[in-house]
Structure 1
Amino acid sequence: MSQVLVRRARTADVSAIAALVDRYSTERILLAKAKVTLYEDVQEFWVAEVDGNIV
């Protein structure tokens, strides 16, 4: 079974975060965010990682 690692987000994670935000914003679960905004605010985010992938 794969381990879940929760850690602070890094700038390298922004594309994966953007993909998740885009997915959930189309379902009206989250508000859409411009990728530049995610880069500006990345220090505020935490991510969960499984097998090297942000989930």
Structure 2
Amino acid sequence: MAIIMSILETAKQNGLDQFKYINYLLDKLPNELSLLDNQRLEAYLPWPENVQLHCK
């Protein structure tokens, strides 16, 4: 629960709609071939432009 709350609070602090951000993560992350690559995961943090466009 603490991880989910942390993700939601980070989204909020970055001006994202929390519901849209969680849906975005749940939609996109399962399609990644590997979640061990830090560069791939960084693309899903709340501040990249692509995430900002989808989740505002």
Fold in common (TM above 0.5)? no
Name the TM-score, length of structure 2 as normaliser: 0.34
Instruction: Return the structure number with greater helix share.
Output: 2
Q: Which has the higher contact order (CA 8 A, sep 6+)?
A: 1
Instruction: Return the structure number with greater strand share.
Output: 1
